[in-house]
Structure 1
Amino acid sequence: MDPSRSVADLSARGCVSRLRHGNDRTPVPSGFRSGFGFSLLWRGRGGVVGIDRSSRDRIRLTLDQLVLDDVAPERVPRRVRVSLFVDDPLPVPGERVMLTAHLDKPQVPAEPGGFDFRRVAWFEHLGAIGYSRTPVMTIAPPDAGGALALHRLRMRLSVAMKEAIGGQAGAVSSAMMTGDRSGIAEHTNEVMRASNLFHIISISGLHMSMLTGFVYAAIRYLGAMVLGLAGLASSRLHKYAAAAAFLSAASYLWLSGGDVATTRSFIMVAVMLIAIMSDRRAISLRTVAVAAVVILVITPEALVSPGFQMSFAATVALILAAEPWQKIAPRLPWWLKPVTLLLVSSLVASISTSPIAAAHFGRVSHYGVFANLLVVPVIGLVVMPCGAIAAVLAPFGLSDLPLWCMGLGAKWMLVVAEYVANTGGATTLIKAPPHSVLPLMGVGAILVVLSPVYGARQIIARRMVGGMAIIVALIMWDVSKRPDVLISSDGQAVGVMTPEGRAVSRPKGGTFAVSEWLAADGSSNNQVASAAIPYWVDNGGYKKAVLPQELGGVEIYHVIKASFDGKEDSFCQNGSFVIMNRPLELDRVIKGECTVLDSDYLKITGAISLDWRNGSILLDGSNGSGDRSWSGGAEFSAKY
């Protein structure tokens, strides 16, 4: 498709017909080995390689080594992920299972420039996603050995921990120790996000540093005590402690499943421990740079992930704050130092990560520092040490007491999260920023805090430029304009921006896309509330909306599973837009000036945004995100 062609040309009947005949399926990215261009009822077999929980609180299975009935081998995806709507006992990793599921390709972005799940799926080798409403049948037991045997052991440890502690405290404790988050309910996830404690559920540098710090300090102090009682001394004790901490970090990496975030945390901690063993400075920006390079070589896709950005932003900020703290700490009373250090570290980490979290997740947690002050010490002093002790004592059957203590810490965290989340004004929803805001803000922050020190003038000049860059980024964020009209990729929903918020054409249909739109708008409405905004006029088989005069007064018709009923000429007047969730009949001739966007057309463009600017209508499609391996095509856009 030529992006320079006008929408009016593309909406002609002949072009729509060619789109239908020539592209009856959306192009499939070559990296997926998948031919699914439509919802397919699939019957087949596969091996279970992963179990987790979706954002809609559904258990999901990741399957590989697939055999699909009535599907050619060249069209079989490498992996699929299926959400389960049944509560039957779950299979274990490594089992061969059989099930019936509805599968489709990974979804295109809900709007142009939105989050592209296809990129994530491409790196995870997911060729299709879907759901199943039928029981999962085991047809072959798992192999006795192999990597999945260790995974099954990890899952058994997770189940044992959940049962020993019980409830959501057990699920959270298991997630922090084994990385298995399948037992955490969506309500728990939501209150943890609202209280800015969600990072504690995900195994991160915080957990790695707490665990390795505990092991390092314990071995060093215990070793010094033993050597002192024996009248001996060792200048290499800190290296032995670092080696033991390194082994504990590696064990924790295996126990947690070794996903991308945990691997990133392990690399960061491992570089610091190796620096100690090599008589190098452990806490320095050079160490952080080495860890970043290693991580990006192994997983380059991590660069655009919020976990990578927030981890390194917090680490760099804490390292930079260490030197001023060392100057202030000697002047404080001994009893005030721990409290002040906790307050300062939480404040520094929150300031450095809050803009990134706000840009990615669309919310600001106002009481996050307070919640972290109450919870992080308990995690560091109770939960993680008790988890490590339980792991050591478990082979001897003595893990009950440390697990009980660990559960108390997890329950405290949940109580704090629930209280903070339910406090009035705990969070503020904000709109999604333009893509240029976060990089510009990052460059500005680098110039402010990392400018080389050559003299007073250079410091002032660089930091002034960095500060201006941050201010410009914030202004761009504030004045940025959300799309005037958004159309889902399946034609099931249309949303028009109004002074009362985005008015959606239907209270149901296109649910995922609508939820993404409202989140990016910074709106607290759900789809039902957005559909209740008095903007669309219901005419039975179709909905009609008239844009304000500053947007040209254009009429928009959303036709839903109904024929035109002879209203073609009345629809196509004055450059109106007609959106259909079904294909336009090939023999249908529409007279007049209008743009018809039927389901076949939307398969080519993906979700569409319409903007009226400077007397022109800008149309963007989300089905391509440039010529990339996961997008399968070039960007679609037009102006007329």
Structure 2
Amino acid sequence: MALAHARGVLFVWVPVFIGVGVGIWFALPQEPVLWHYACLVAAVLLGALCHRRGPELAQPFVIVIICVILGMLAAGARAHLVKAPVLGFRYYGAVEGRIVSIDRSQSDMLRLTLDRVVLERTPPSRTPERVRVSLHGLQGFVALEPGQTVIATAHLSAPEGPVEPGAFDFRRMAYFDRLGAVGYTRVPVLLLEPPAPGAQWINRFRAKLRAGVEAELPGDPGAFAAALVTGDRAGMSRQAQENLRSANLSHLLAISGLHMALLTGFIFATLRYGLALVPPLALRVQSKKVAAGLALLAGAAYLALSGGNVATERAFVMVAVMLGAALFDRRALSMRSVALAACVLLLAQPETLLEPGFQMSFAATVALIAGYSALRGQGRHLPFWVAPLATVVFTSLLAGLATAPVAAAHFNRVAGYGLAANVLAVPVMGFAVMPAAVLAGILAPLGLEGPALWIMGKGTAWILSVAEMVAGWDGAVRAVPSPSWQVLPIMAFGALWLVLWRGRTRFLGVVPMALAFAVWSQSERPPLLISADGGLVGLNAAGGRVLSAPKGAGFTARQWLENDGDLVEQEQAAMREGFDGEPRLRRFSFGGWRMAQIKGKGAETRVEEACLVADLVIVARKVTASIPQDCQVIDATKLRATGPLALWAQPDGGLRAVPTKTQSRLWTGFKRAEQFKIYMPPHTDQ
């Protein structure tokens, strides 16, 4: 029997089924209550009893059920542990708080994350634990650094949800980050109190370190070098980051598995072989274990220095498991080590399962271990000068193939020349930039870090030049539409079956992978989208999605176009043919319906006028006046209950409206909405 043959290698499937449980919990439409969790705990206890006393062949199936339930319990426990107030209204007034971090928004504005928040006329029970404020207008009166208590007059609101059904849910991510409000200020930020002694000392040290590196290495190369050391990208230009993204090199900027592996690997190798060169030490100490222990401490220090974001935490857990394996004389790189790291992360931070960083890092790691295991011993036939280049090419190819579908599904783009860019850039990162960073850290207390930083700066300048060159090639970036939600789980199951199972039946994993790509190719985008406030409408036409306005709701417009696999800007999309009329009263046709969109001051008073030329009117205001009997209206009140809407024409002439607010969960704070139908008004001939 296949299961009996696979005994001893089934542990690698444990995180897979824990992940299934986490995914099921996040997909639930309603928040589970206490008795649901009590039933799950009882099921685990019953499963443990069955595993102990039941037949041997049933034990794997019992473990599968237990793992799925553990995933659900971990997700539920985590959600309740991080629960914090979320701003329940639009706020304008004084915002006071302590700076926790400083970064940049997508619009390239400085952005502050504050804790110890105080809002005017808002009791502490309703005040968010953390808020994030983008700095617009004239700033620079205060040299901002973590630990300072600042005050500003700002606009705040709760984090927004998806811009369309099934899209990325920023509100959920903010909930698990305990981020209860986001907003902006157009007035200068003022300093109330300097950092208290010892407060935010790591973040303050990171800020000083970043400033020191950027002072030694000006421009984007220095900002890149500082980001590699501290995780702080605030000094990098938006264009440089966009070039890295277009060349599939943005993974070099985010402190993740590659950086942690290069750092700890360099320290491990240097210490192990360095101790071996000293005979008295080599004979008396176990150099491998000493090197592993010190490399682990260096990794922990790097984790703290880099700000401890989720990607770095994930990387540290994986490195810690591998170095721990070396300490206990186990194979450091194996599927079991990766599985153990995945179990730790999924049980401690279940929400990371939904993040592209988690999916891409584990996809790359599993693919590399499987690929190199299949080719074990083949490198002996290569000349010594060819082996390093072949290793870089093979590593980049494997990691690129494993992560490309995930990146395309989340970011709607494929880097056409990512392999070439990685072959040119990754060796420089591994052999020059990261070793120089380690040497600079060692020499800094002696004031001798200059030469190492110079090497680091030359390396980062090379990487940025490669990114700029590759991003400028024709076809460097190819847009792809967002897949339906089933695609990635089906694809992941097929890939995991192909890699983790044993025997010839493993090749059956190709079938679900092919099915996933087939489903993706047939994914249909919503023909009509309405934004959360009704101020923007997107009509899918033959030449691409047409937007009702060239400005306003920029984030929503950008997300719609990216999800369509369309790289044009909002202004270009608004110039496409599909809408007629003045900017505040736009007319268009869809599915045999005459439609109109009204917005701007006094929009609610123009409903009757719009109904003369339309069967359905979208109003970016609350409508309180009577509505003509032969006219349908979607106003701000309805959209507040449904969220952004997707409309689909039906064979019977009606419209199927798919809401975005389909879950009533801890992070949503509202009642879920159901799909509904809109039927043609009686006065038409349809």
Same fold per superposition (TM over 0.5)? yes
**Cα distance between partner residues in 1 of 2:100 and 2:668:** 22
- Taking the TM superposition and a 5 Å limit, the aligned residue runs for 1:70-469 are 70-85=121-136, 86-88=138-140, 89-146=142-199, 148-227=200-279, 233=283, 236-453=286-503, 459=504, 461-464=505-508, 466-469=509-512
RMSD: 1.9
AA matched with 2:95: G
2:161 alignment partner AA: V
Query: Take 2:664 and 2:493, find their aligned partners in 1: how far apart are those partners?
Result: 24
1:582 deviation in Å? 1.2
- Could you tell me whether the CA contact under 8 Å between 1:569 and 1:592 is conserved in 2? no
In the aligned structure 2, how far is the partner of 1:437 from the partner of 1:202? 26
Q: Secondary structure at 2:457's aligned position in 1?
A: helix
The answer for the alignment partner of 2:100 in structure 1 is: 49
Distance, in Å, in 2 between the alignment partners of 1:156 and 1:203 is 18
SS at match of 2:402: helix
1:120-171 Cα distance to aligned partner (Å, 9 max, x none)? 110111111000111111111111024x112211211111011111100111
SS of the residue aligned with 2:525?
A: coil
In structure 2, give the amino acid aligned to 1:73.
P
Aligned to 1:621: 659
1:612 deviates by: 1.6
Letter in 1 for 2:247: S
- Asked if 1:577 is matched to 2:613, the reply is no
- Looking at structure 2, the residues matched to 351 and 639 of structure 1 have their Cα atoms a distance apart, in angstroms, of 42
- The alignment partner of 1:353 has SS state of helix
Aligned partner of residue 326 in structure 1, secondary structure:
coil
Alpha-carbon separation, structure 2, partners of 1:51 and 1:528: 31
* Cα distance in structure 2, aligned partners of 1:554 and 1:257: 53
Q: Write the distance in 2 (CA, Å) between the matches of 1:130 and 1:559.
A: 26
How far is 1:472 from its partner?
A: 1.2
Per mean C-alpha deviation after superposition, the further-off stretch among 332-341 and 493-502 is 332-341
User: What is the alpha-carbon distance in structure 2 between the residues aligned to residue 440 and residue 162 of structure 1?
Assistant: 45
Which residue is equivalent to 1:8? none
User: Is contact 1:568-1:591 (8 Å) kept?
Assistant: yes
SS in 2 for 1:47: strand
2:639 matches 1:602: yes
CA distance in 1, matches of 2:209, 2:659: 46
Q: What secondary structure, in the 3-state scheme, does the structure 2 residue paired with 1:196 have?
A: coil
**How much has 1:595 moved relative to structure 2?**
2.3
8 Å Cα contact 1:37/1:104 also seen in 2: yes
Q: Structure 1 residue 231: deviation in Å?
A: 9.3
Deviation at 1:633, TM superposition (A): 2.8
Identity percentage of aligned residues:
40
Match of 1:59 among 110, 116, 134: 110
| Conserved? CA contact 2:610–2:617, under 8 Å | no
**Residue type matched to 1:602 in 2?**
L
Is the contact made by 1:364 and 1:430 (CA closer than 8 Å) also made in structure 2? yes
Equivalent residue, structure 1, for 2:627? 590
For 1:181-213, what per-residue CA distance to the aligned partner results, in whole angstroms no more than 9, with x for missing partners? 111111111111100000000001000000111
Q: Secondary structure at the match of 1:486?
A: strand
Q: Which has the higher contact order (CA 8 A, sep 6+)?
A: 1
Contact 2:153-2:187 within 8 A present in 1 as well: yes
1:250-274 per-residue CA deviation (whole Å, 9 max, x = no partner) reads 1111111111111110110011001
State the Cα deviation string for residues 326-347 of structure 1 (Å, max 9, x = none).
2211111111111111111111
Q: Matched residue of 2:146: which SS?
A: coil
How much has 1:369 moved relative to structure 2? Answer: 0.7
Cα contact 1:45–1:99 (8 A) shared by 2 = yes
Q: 1:293 to 1:538 in 2, by over 3 A?
A: same
Report the counterpart of residue 534 of structure 2 in structure 1.
Answer: 491
Once the two structures are superposed, residues 56-100 of structure 1 have per-residue CA deviations (whole angstroms, 9 ceiling, x without a partner) of 111110111112122233321111100001441442111111111
2:110–2:135 CA contact under 8 A, matched in 1? yes
Change (3 A) 1:577 1:395: same
Q: Which amino acid aligns with 1:629?
A: W
Contact 1:627–1:635, Cα closer than 8 Å, also in 2: no
* Pairing partner for 2:593 from 539, 547, 554: 554
Give 1:306 shift. 0.5
3-state SS in 2 of match to 1:145: coil
Give the deviation of 1:102 after TM superposition: 0.8
Instruction: Look up the SS of the partner of 2:453 in the other structure.
Output: helix
Unaligned 5+ runs, structure 2:
1-28, 30-81, 679-686
1:564-607 Cα deviation digits (max 9, x unpaired): 76762761688x221111111x2x22223332111122112111
Deviation at 1:432, TM superposition (A): 0.5
The whole-number CA distance in structure 1 between the counterparts of 2:583 and 2:387 is: 69
Q: Indicate if the aligned counterparts of 2:642 and 2:660 stay in contact, CA closer than 8 A.
A: yes
Residue 100 of structure 1: SS of its match in structure 2?
strand
* Change in CA separation of 1:591 and 1:176 when aligned onto 2, cut-off 3 Å: same
Aligned partner (choices 608, 627, 633) of residue 568 of structure 1: 608
1:323 and 1:566 map into 2 onto residues whose CA distance is 69
Instruction: For 1:621, give the aligned amino acid.
Output: P
Q: SS where residue 539 of structure 2 aligns?
A: strand
Counterparts of 2:410 and 2:673, CA distance in 1: 23
Distance 1:257 1:173, change over 3 A: same
> What secondary structure, in the 3-state scheme, does the structure 2 residue paired with 1:184 have?
coil
What's the offset of the Cα at 1:613? Answer: 3.8
Q: Deviations over 1:386-406 (max 9, x none)?
A: 001101110110011100100
Q: Please state how far the C-alpha of 1:494 moved relative to its aligned partner.
A: 0.5
Q: Which residue of the partner structure matches residue 4 of structure 2?
A: none
Q: How does 1:468-547 map to 2 (within 5 A)?
A: 468-539=511-582, 541-547=584-590
Q: Which amino acid aligns with 2:473?
A: T
- CA shift in 2, pair 1:231/1:557, >3 Å: closer
Comparing 475-484 with 235-244, which one deviates more in the overlay? 235-244
CA distance in 1, matches of 2:229, 2:603: 56
Aligned CA distance change for structure 1 residues 393 and 475 (closer, same or farther; 3 Å): same
When normalised by structure 2's length, the TM-score is 0.84
Could you tell me how far 1:296 is from its partner in structure 2? 1.4
Structure-1 residue corresponding to 2:9: none
Name the CA shift for 1:388/1:567 in 2 (closer, same or farther; >3 Å). closer
Partners of 1:94 and 1:512 in 2: how far apart? 30
Query: For the Cα contact (< 8 Å) 2:157–2:183, is it kept in 1?
Result: yes
- Which residue identity does 1:114 align to in structure 2? A
Give the drift of 1:52. Answer: 1.0
